[in-house]
Amino acid sequence: MTVSTIKSRPIYPGLSPDLNARRNIIVCDKAGAAAVTELFSRADSAFAERTTIILADSLSATETQTLSRDLAPAAVEIQPTLADGIARLRQLLETAPMGLRLYAAGSEPLIGLVVQAGLDFSIDHLSIRTEHRGSLMRRVQCVHCKGYIENVTTNPVKCTHCGLTLLVRDHYSRRLAAFQGVCIDAEVPGEIPPTEALYQ
């Protein structure tokens, strides 16, 4: 099954403040917001004042209130979905100045899509500070039909586009922001191991 020693599998060292950055953009989800709060506790308030946070998640009114308070004095923009958050990030990167530092905290799909957006703007992936929080769910690309399967929590998983049952490998593409899914019963159609909830 999956081999965790695969070198393309990203590692996320954790957030740390870049005190020399002229501007910070942080993308996070609800779980990642806790990592951002901890990040702010390791920096001065001027750091937060130079920071824009894109909080991409569906939040209740109470959560919105609490998180906006916890993350002040940074400017917090709330986006209802991850896709909206990434679209907003790309908008900000269009006009981003030199001296910008990018951060991502939350699920792997969130981090992966932030890094992918950064690559499109020639931001070195190693310069993006990342911390994984919350769900282990994955974004998977079906190597056969090239469709993306979002929020994958099991291995194997059925491709939502072509219907093949896929082994989720640890082989990861930054460019595609996805793990690789390969037909698991190609040798003997129907010979499928039990589904495991590996990525809850």
Given the rule CB under 8 A, which residues bind another protein?
A: 3, 5-9, 119, 141, 143-144, 146, 164, 169-171, 173-176, 180, 182-183, 186-189
Closer to another protein by Cβ: residue 24 or 141: 141
The CA-atom distances, in angstroms, between 193 and each of 2, 73, 126 are 13, 50, 36
Nearer to another protein, 24 or 180 (CB): 180
CB of 21 to another protein, least distance (A): 21
Closest to another protein by CB, 15 vs 142, is: 142
CB of 123 to another protein, least distance (A): 14
We find the least distance from the C-beta atom of residue 182 to another protein, in angstroms, to be 6
For residues 6 and 169, the answer to whether their CB atoms sit within 8 Å is: yes
Q: Which is nearer to another protein, 101 or 169 (CB)?
A: 169
Minimum CB–partner distance for residue 8 and another protein (Å): 4
Closer of 188 and 197 to another protein (Cβ): 188
Q: How far is the CB of 121 from another protein (least distance, A)?
A: 14
Q: For residues 38 and 170, which CB has a smaller minimum distance to another protein in the complex?
A: 170
For residue 136, the one-letter residue type is: L
7 forms beta bridges with none
3-state secondary structure the chain: CCCCCCCCCCCCCCCCCCCCCCEEEEEECHHHHHHHHHHHHCCCHHHHHCEEEEEECCCCHHHHHHHHHHHCCCEEEEECCHHHHHHHHHHHHHCCCCCEEEEEEECHHHHHHHHHHHHHCCCCHHHCEEEECCCCCEEEEECCCCCEEEEECCECEECCCCCCEEEEEEEEECCCCEEEEEECCCCCCCCCCCCECCCC
Task: Provide the minimum distance between the beta carbon of 5 and another protein in the complex, in angstroms, as a whole number.
Answer: 7
